[in-house]
Structure 1
């Protein structure tokens, strides 16, 4: 089972601050989505409304065609994993697991125990006594083992060290393939986790900047490498994302898709065309001068 998400003219205000600004988008079920944005872009605000943690100022959110706010039957099919553990500091970790087991209809106990061992989750400790890394390990374990049809990870793994984060990415992808569902991952670690995303949503100041398939978005950036004069001539008048030079060789990164004719001209000029990282494109699309 997977759940779709549809957002129509969604706005969320905190007094004088507009966190989400007339946002409209649709996420079909059964995909892994990357939600990208700078600090304060509205990512957590949007996800909080989708997960029914708060009510919007105006507009509509539909999950599988129904409004999630105060909809117990629907919210039981959703799991919102935040950057902190949703439990009292005095609760023991084993108590948190017992509660999740009782409340999550798709909970997989065998998988949960395997994750506990893989991430070394300290079951007997109290939540308040956990390190930041242990809290992140607990959060992602709860999110994965819940196997909710709509699962949202809001930078909940940032406290983990690099080997543990990569183990989480492996678990996320492998379990998604074995148990398809809709997964939204909000992140700053774009280069680390970008290969997981089937589609990318980019927000900036509460507004939609881009929503495309990951490979389509990547194709909008091209690294042009070759003799400096030929590179300069080919990239003249284009949007430049970056530039490097070593002796007589130059590599310039441009933004904008190339036509087949332009690619042919580049080859005739002895130029190599290469892909651009998702993070470079994100930085360009959310740059201060573009705001």
Structure 2
């Protein structure tokens, strides 16, 4: 993704954006843009700045520098912002006493762009009934209900902060299937923060990685595949491969492997077999300190 701010297609634009909590810098001089029609994975370890950035995008945190979301200042023009933005935080909070049909009615009164008909249609994809009480639902069902209510609002941008935290594999899969099938349409954009990197890689069009508040990668998956090279090699070639300064040395399906930013030297390529690096491997390579990386035996 380009870093040009105020592009006509940009739903989110930041330039030199910094967010601090006292002396701690949560977001460190970030410059990026997020166009329309994208599914963006926002990745980073705990404390990397993901939630702080998302809260800034929805107008809950103020920072320094420039941040525009849907063409407005999210902090100063929050009422205008919320006409085109949906947000699901890491904890889905719904009134436990309410029945599902009551929440559908309530949303219709609170949000002019909410479609009760669409919410009911989305709920048919789940095991949640209109007469169910929230307190009777499992955590996975509450998350599905929350998504159905939010996805029934006609917005251009959805921000999800660890939306499937604590759910089992089947519930997570159902959540993402409904999100992609029912909300993403080539014009809308969704930004997803998650620790389940391997589960969402196939859904993403772009990835942004934060490490200690800094943006260490901002790239489309297509660009990622052409830029980064992984090489599986025999242990005997480990020293030669290491001298080529890979980003990461690790094991892949029982074999020694190395990950490079760009094409490794021809003599090194000749020592192994190329394969596509996973997003998880790249995440490890770019967001952990070199001294923590295990050395080859």
- Using structure 1 for the length normalisation, give the TM-score: 0.83
Secondary structure class of the residue paired with 2:152: helix
The residue that corresponds to 1:55 in the other structure is 61
Shift of 1:228: 4.5
Secondary structure class of the residue paired with 1:4: strand
The residue that corresponds to 1:169 in the other structure is 176
The residue that corresponds to 2:263 in the other structure is 258
Residues 16 and 149 (structure 1 numbering): CA distance in 2 closer, same or farther, change over 3 Å? same
Check conservation: 1:33, 1:200, Cα contact below 8 A.
Answer: yes
More helix by share: 1
Shift of 1:181: 0.4
Q: Map 1:1-291; keep pairs closer than 5 Å.
A: 4-52=11-59, 54-69=60-75, 70-127=77-134, 130-178=137-185, 180-229=187-236, 233-234=240-241, 236-239=243-246, 240-243=248-251, 250-258=255-263, 262=265, 269=270, 271-289=272-290
Secondary structure class of the residue paired with 2:124: helix
Task: Report how many aligned residue pairs link the two structures.
Answer: 282
Distance 2:253 2:172 in 1: 34
Distance 1:164 1:245 in 2: 28
Distance 1:75 1:202 in 2: 26
Secondary structure class of the residue paired with 2:187: coil
Distance 1:122 1:14 in 2: 43
Residues 80 and 218 (structure 1 numbering): CA distance in 2 closer, same or farther, change over 3 Å? same
- Which 10-residue stretch deviates more, 182-191 or 120-129? 120-129
Check conservation: 1:221, 1:257, Cα contact below 8 A.
Answer: yes
Task: Give unpaired runs (5+ residues) of structure 2.
Answer: 1-8, 293-297
Shift of 1:26: 1.2
Shift of 1:213: 0.9
Shift of 1:157: 2.0
Question: Which whole-Å deviations, capped at 9, do the CAs of 1:123-160 have from their partners, x for residues lacking one?
Answer: 44554564322322222222322242111111112233
Check conservation: 2:157, 2:188, Cα contact below 8 A.
Answer: yes
Shift of 1:106: 4.0
Secondary structure class of the residue paired with 1:100: helix
Distance 2:144 2:125 in 1: 9
Shift of 1:46: 0.9
Distance 2:21 2:245 in 1: 39
Residues 174 and 245 (structure 1 numbering): CA distance in 2 closer, same or farther, change over 3 Å? closer
- Using structure 2 for the length normalisation, give the TM-score: 0.81
CA RMSD of aligned residues (A): 2.9
Question: Which whole-Å deviations, capped at 9, do the CAs of 1:216-271 have from their partners, x for residues lacking one?
Answer: 2244443323554457545543223313586xxx4412222116xx46x567x474
The residue that corresponds to 2:295 in the other structure is none
Check conservation: 2:92, 2:146, Cα contact below 8 A.
Answer: yes
